[in-house]
Amino acid sequence: MSTHGPIEPALHKLMNEIGHLISGAIDQSAGKGKYGFALLMFGFGPEKGRMNYISNAERETMIIALKELLARFQGFDVETPDTRQ
């Protein structure tokens, strides 16, 4: 997968539409600003491209959440840091 950059043009519109749907559903159900989300999209196969993501969280908060997710996937107990924005 290649390095940091904007969402791949082929996925930009789709990811924004899905992101708005997710954000709206969360805000309607749980209350605005109560939960963060991230949508990760990546291709399969030989021309897989790179990981693309969209989130309602600030970049620093997203990095903390991804590190926590990876640690949990690897079987580590993780203390959840304060990620309120």
Q: Kindly report the pTM of this predicted structure.
A: 0.75
**pLDDT value at residue 83:** 62
The pLDDT tens digits for 21-58 are 999 999 999 988 889 999 999 989 887 778 999 999 99
- How many other C-beta atoms are found inside a 10 Å radius of the C-beta of residue 52? 20
**pLDDT value at residue 50:** 86
**Where do the structural domains in the chain lie, given as residue ranges?**
9-73
